[in-house]
């Protein structure tokens, strides 16, 4: 029976190596470096002995793996180990790892293979889209801390020298989700909000991987810096006021105002006037919609198509269930995909109730998705794009892609914006 252990992982990665990593020591060096250790401080025979299962994992590596931040390990894997994998063998390597994991009867389906919830055995086996560095970081950490390498000799020996290559013609596919890059590099729309104060104002409490879903899904929780056990809202107020123009006005409107006045401040003052005129005494009720816009642009990196105030203004004869429509561009398996993001927000004293009510809105959007897509499709180009852009956004072509990619069967990807919690699937 094949088993996940450090020797197994070294063997599989070694079989997937580039020519520049033509030694077992190179692979071990990349693994050790991800945990802040130097393989050169150990006996020269350690790498081959770990690969064969002859030696146990050094206690220093076990200790480092137990206390390491998994995000830092993933960054170390990305910098030191992934470059050693041949460009044509990434898919084969992960298919091989998944097959070993499937055969490993010592790991039950609900076991987290690593430290991050969402990397349960069954979840890994059922997913075909993954973040390469984070997946390796979790599995290798599990192999280091939860298995006895020197008792896995027979299991390692079951892995033939051409084991990874045997998956070259597999019908199973693996799709790698690349680390998020600046959306402006891949999106037909440019972000309207890039405020460096965001990271100072909104502090991230945690990232959580959501399991039992077909695609990698993460929940991020943010909070405002508290003082004397109370949240301080003055910074949030200033942040919203400073960026109210990009929430209220479209790109084209902002360009027309600036071309007419030659005064950047005029955009904010006119936006505030329109905001007060539109909402009046009910302005507090739209705080969630504004925060949704902020998190969509700054954190999810999804430029707006229409904010809630623009939706209401452009669609007087229909009522959209969405609190904002954005465009998310992702790179999957080296190809760019564009997804419409229909966001929902809710602010109430009970966080659970707020989340449930936001998801009720998202369900309503999905149930009404033909009308929602038609709303986007009917939005005139001049209200969205800046005339100085390189190219217009082809909504008709995009809608055909989205009808298939976002809303159909097993290809469904739902992106939900919550305030102050953001989910993306």
- Predicted pLDDT of residue 351: 78
- Predicted pLDDT of residue 317: 58
What token pair was written down for 424?
């993306």
- Predicted pLDDT of residue 259: 86
Residue 206 parent element (H or E):
strand 202-210
Quote the CA–CA distance of 386 and 251 in Å, as a whole number. Answer: 5
SS3 of 30-75? HHHHHCCCCHHHCCCCHHHHHHHCCCCCCHHHHHHHHHCCHHHHHH
- Predicted pLDDT of residue 378: 67
- Predicted pLDDT of residue 251: 84
The pLDDT tens digits along the chain (425 residues) read 899 999 999 999 999 998 776 789 999 999 999 999 999 999 999 999 999 999 999 999 999 999 999 989 999 999 999 999 998 899 999 999 999 999 999 999 999 999 987 789 998 998 777 888 999 999 999 999 999 999 999 999 999 999 999 999 898 888 776 554 445 555 667 888 888 788 888 888 877 777 666 666 778 888 887 777 777 788 888 888 888 998 988 888 888 888 888 888 888 889 888 888 888 766 656 888 899 999 998 888 888 888 888 888 776 556 678 888 888 887 655 566 778 888 888 887 777 888 888 888 888 888 887 887 777 776 644 455 554 443 445 544 444 444 333 332 222 333 333 323 333 33
Pair 375, 315: CB distance under 8 Å: yes
Is the pTM value of this prediction over 0.85? Answer: no
Maximum Cα interatomic distance, the chain, rounded to a whole number of Å: 77
- Predicted pLDDT of residue 316: 59
- Predicted pLDDT of residue 92: 94
């Amino acid at each position: 029976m094949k088993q996940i252990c450090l020797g197994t992982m070294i063997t599989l990665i070694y079989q997937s190596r580039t020519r520049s990593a033509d030694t077992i020591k190179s692979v071990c060096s990349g693994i050790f470096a991800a945990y802040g250790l130097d393989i050169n401080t150990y006996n020269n025979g350690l790498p081959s002995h770990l690969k064969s299962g002859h030696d146990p994992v050094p206690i220093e590596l076990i200790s480092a793996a137990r206390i390491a931040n998994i995000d830092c390990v993933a960054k170390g894997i990305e910098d030191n180990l992934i470059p050693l994998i041949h460009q044509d063998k990434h898919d084969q390597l992960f298919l091989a790892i998944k097959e070993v994991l499937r055969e490993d009867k010592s790991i039950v389906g609900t076991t987290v293979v690593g430290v991050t919830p969402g990397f349960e055995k069954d979840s890994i086996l059922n997913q075909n889209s993954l973040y390469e560095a984070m997946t390796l970081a979790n599995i290798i950490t599990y192999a280091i801390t939860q298995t006895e390498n020197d008792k896995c000799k027979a299991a390692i020996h079951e892995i033939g020298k051409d084991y990874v290559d045997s998956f070259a013609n597999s019908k199973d596919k693996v799709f790698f989700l690349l680390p998020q890059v600046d959306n402006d590099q891949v999106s037909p729309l440019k972000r309207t909000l890039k405020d460096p104060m965001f990271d100072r104002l909104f502090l991230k409490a945690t990232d959580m991987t959501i399991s039992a879903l077909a695609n990698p899904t993460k929940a991020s929780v943010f909070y405002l810096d508290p003082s004397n056990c109370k949240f301080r809202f003055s910074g949030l107020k200033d942040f919203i006021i400073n960026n109210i123009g990009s929430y209220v006005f479209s790109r084209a409107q902002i360009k027309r105002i600036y071309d007419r006045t030659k005064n950047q401040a005029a955009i904010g003052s006119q936006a505030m006037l329109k905001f007060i005129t539109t909402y009046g005494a009910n302005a507090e009720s739209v705080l969630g919609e504004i925060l949704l816009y902020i998190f969509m642009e700054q954190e999810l990196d999804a430029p707006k198509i229409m904010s809630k105030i623009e939706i209401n203004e452009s669609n007087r004869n229909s009522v959209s269930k969405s609190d904002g429509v954005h465009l998310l561009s992702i790179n999957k398996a080296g190809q760019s995909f564009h997804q419409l993001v229909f966001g929902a927000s809710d602010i109430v004293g009970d966080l659970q109730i707020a989340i449930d009510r936001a998801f009720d809105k998202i369900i309503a959007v999905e149930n009404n998705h033909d009308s929602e897509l038609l709303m986007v499709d009917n939005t005139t180009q001049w209200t969205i794009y800046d005339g100085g852009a390189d190219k217009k956004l082809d909504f008709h072509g995009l809608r055909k892609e989205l009808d298939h990619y976002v809303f159909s069967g097993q290809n469904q990807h739902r992106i939900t914006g919550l305030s102050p919690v953001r989910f993306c699937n």
